[in-house]
Chain A
Amino acid sequence: MAAARVAIQHEDFDVSRELARLRESDHRVGAVCSFVGTVRAAGKAADPQVLDMELEHYPGMTEKAIEAMVDEAQRRFDIFAARVIHRVGLLRPGEQIVLVAVTSSHRGQGFQACEFLMDYLKTQAPFWKKERTADGERWVDARSSDDAALARWGIEAGNAG
């Protein structure tokens, strides 16, 4: 039985262990591609330093939305297994937020599937970030560049816009 494909959790994750588990005993695998997102200390250089960040989500919908994304990635790309972990709760600069990992025969499909999953997740998974700086708290704005990234795959995001 393969490990669950999607996890929403407060705890940190161990990338090496996740990647090892993902390709465990599957000798078809020739490529393991992954992306790790981390908390930046500031949005832009001139922005105030982020002290910490609170990640809120919509329990139930988040898991369903990401499961649907993984199904779509499986349809579009020649990949074997996929794993998505997204953390919620209080996170500090430098901490890991998100892991997307994919196994495939060759790297091309794996890289593309990772990018597709991240583009999808950025605009379609119900997470919200609130940053705390010395100036106070603020909800992070959605970026239209993230909508544009998803549009490359022929999908209308309609999130930021």
Chain B
Amino acid sequence: MKIQLRYFASVREALGRGSEQRETQAATLAQLRDELTGQGEPYAQALAPGRAVRMALDQVMVQDDAPLRDGCEVAFFPPVTGG
């Protein structure tokens, strides 16, 4: 399936891009993150398993077991610091 990826703040800087489209076989966000880090740098470091990365699916914060859908928008970003 085809998904839209969005990156923000330090994750965006580490990846050198704010968005991209991707074909994926991943069923969940956790699998997608593994798939991305498996491509090597800069993903491996920016989305490394030990790193505090928060996720949103279709613009709602979710845990990494959230299931992906065709055409969905997935965002990876560091902990938020507004207010």
**Residues of B in contact, count (CB < 8 Å):** 18
Name the residue on A nearest B79 (C-beta). Answer: A142
A122-B75 contact in complex given A56-B9, A60-B59, C-beta closer than 8 Å: no
A126-B78 contact in complex given A37-B83, A56-B9, A139-B9, C-beta closer than 8 Å: no
The residue among B54, B56, B78, B83 with the most chain A CB atoms within 10 A of its own CB is B83
Name the residue on A nearest B10 (C-beta). Answer: A139
The residue among A58, A118, A129 with the most chain B CB atoms within 10 A of its own CB is A58
C-beta contact mask, A118-152 vs B, less than 8 Å → 1, else 0?
10011111111110000000011110001000000
**Residues of A in contact, count (CB < 8 Å):** 30
A31 CB within 8 Å of chain B: no
Contacts of B10 in A (CB 8 A): 128, 139
A90 CB within 8 Å of chain B: no
A residues near B, CB below 8 A?
A: 37, 55-58, 60-61, 64-65, 86, 97-98, 118, 121-130, 139-142, 146, 159-160
